[in-house]
Structure formats: structure tokens, C-alpha cells
Amino acid sequence: MGKPTLIVGGDTLMQSTHKTQNAQVVLELLQKMYPNAGCTLDFTGPLELLIATILAAQCTDVRVNIVTKELFKKYPTVEHYAQADPKELEQDIKSTGFYQNKTKSIITCCRQIIERYQGQVPSSMEALTALAGVGRKTANVVLGNAFNIPGIIVDTHMRRVSQRLGLTSNDDPVKIERDLCAVIPQMEWVIFSHRMVEHGRKICIARNPRCSICLLAPHCRYFQNLNSGK
Ligand code: SF4
């Protein structure tokens, strides 16, 4: 009978240890590459960040920041959004795309914040994800950047880059978040998320990753497979 193999989150112990060590190296290199990474949405508090993050779905942060510059002046409180005329709000956010759904989410979500939390944006994953239009990604953005509560933000960049690096084999964002939380120290979760997104935007781009100039290449599963012809 062979030796029993200890299983850790679907991996053998050896695979799990290797992933953790690889994640540590990736973490250090990302820190060198993107020392100033941070949230690229403009905001001054939890409500503004919540609204900006809802608007950022299928839209660039640059575009969102252009729109919110005026939006935040026109709608300074949660009550302003809750009582907004939907047609008018639609026009105010139109250039961020999907503006009808986003308008519905913003108005309903702000009404729920007034009804359930006396107008204060809640600071727990459970309460945030129970609001209209707020999923784990949005909640983690708000928790990490407005409340300093650590979370890993799995957006399209995080998903692609972490899969290519071999930090996860999953496709479901919740499972990816779980895999990353297991190998990245908690105190690094938020800044790691920002650095991975910046890497995804600048180097590990979707169509043609710029592997030839990527410092992570020696630690990247995608790059290794590319060179071994897999
Ligand atoms: S080596 Fe290529 S695939 Fe791997 S992280 Fe760098 S750019 Fe992305």
C-alpha cells in the first residue's frame, strides 16, 4: 500500500506548498513592478465608491471617473439617489453603458441602505451582497478600499492573470477568490488585487500577453506551457 496523500483544497500537500511558495514570489515581484498600485476609481467615502463600482461594470475606470465628477456633486447623499428620477439618472450615467440596469440597481440599493441601515453603507460582506446590484466583487472593492477590511477582488483581469500564473485552476470567481485567499497573506489581499489588475491592464493583456517583458514569466504556468509546446 502506498503512502497516504494529504489533500489540501483539492491539491496534494506538495502541490499546495508549491502554490504557496510560487504565490509568495509572485507577490514580491508584483510589489517591485507596481509599488504605487491602488484603487483607480475616484471617491471620498463608501457611498461614492459603491456607486462608482456599480458604474464600473463593463466600463473603464477612466470613463467612470469622468461621469462621477459631476454625478457626485448632483447626488451628494444616499437620499438623492433613492429619490432620483430614473430617466434623469439614466441620462446622467448613460456613457458608462448598461445605464438602465445600473440606474435600477443604484436607486433600489440606496433605498435599501436607507431602510435597512439608516442611510449608512454597511461594512460587511453579507449586508453588502444583499443589496441590489452588489456582488462579491463590488463588495470586496468597497470593503477593502473604503473600510480597510481585506478581501480579494476577482474581476476579469484577476481571473485571467491568476489562471495564467497557475494560482488557480478554477473559472468561477468565488472559487478563484477562495484559492487566492488560501495562498496570499490576508494583509496583502487588497494591494495584491490592485497590482494584479494593473498587471492585467499593462502586461498580461487578454489577447496577446507581453510575456517577453514580464518579470513573472519564470513563475508562470502559461509561459512554461507555451515554451514546452503544451
Ligand atoms: S508570463 Fe505572460 S502569461 Fe504569464 S503573467 Fe506574464 S504576461 Fe501573463
Nearest CA to ligand 1 atom 1: 217
**Model confidence, pTM:** 0.89
Dihedral angle, C-alpha 33, 39, 40, 45, nearest 10 °: -160
Assess whether pLDDT exceeds 50 at residue 190: yes
Average pLDDT score, the chain: 93
Cβ-in-10-Å burial (0-12, 13-18, 19+) of 230 comes to: exposed
151 lines ligand 1 (CB under 6 A): no
Residue 8, classed as helix, strand or coil, is: strand
**Which of 11-15, 33-37, 113-117 has the lowest average pLDDT?**
11-15
> Count of residues for the chain?
230
Question: pLDDT tens digits, residue range 55-107?
Answer: 999 999 999 999 999 999 999 999 999 999 999 999 999 999 999 999 999 99
If one compares 222 and 19, the residue with the highest pLDDT of the two is: 222
Q: Which amino acid, 101?
A: N
154 lines ligand 1 (CB under 6 A): no
Between helix 136-146 and helix 189-202 the angle, nearest 10°, is 120
Taking the C-alpha atoms of residue 221 and residue 66, their distance in angstroms, rounded to an integer, is: 38
**Which of 1-10, 30-39, 71-80, 147-156 has the lowest average pLDDT?**
1-10
The closest-lying atom of ligand 1 relative to the alpha carbon of residue 220 is: 4
Unique residue bearing C-alpha cell 440597481: 105
Question: pLDDT tens digits, residue range 27-45?
Answer: 999 999 999 999 999 999 9
196 lines ligand 1 (CB under 6 A): no
68 — phi, psi (to 5°)? -70, -20
Structural domains of the chain in order of their starting residue, each with its CATH number: 7-33+151-227 (1.10.1670.10), 46-146 (1.10.340.30)
Unique residue bearing C-alpha cell 453603507: 121
Contact criterion met (CB below 8 Å) for 54 and 105: yes
Give the three cell numbers for residue 161. 492573470
Give the three cell numbers for residue 179. 484559492
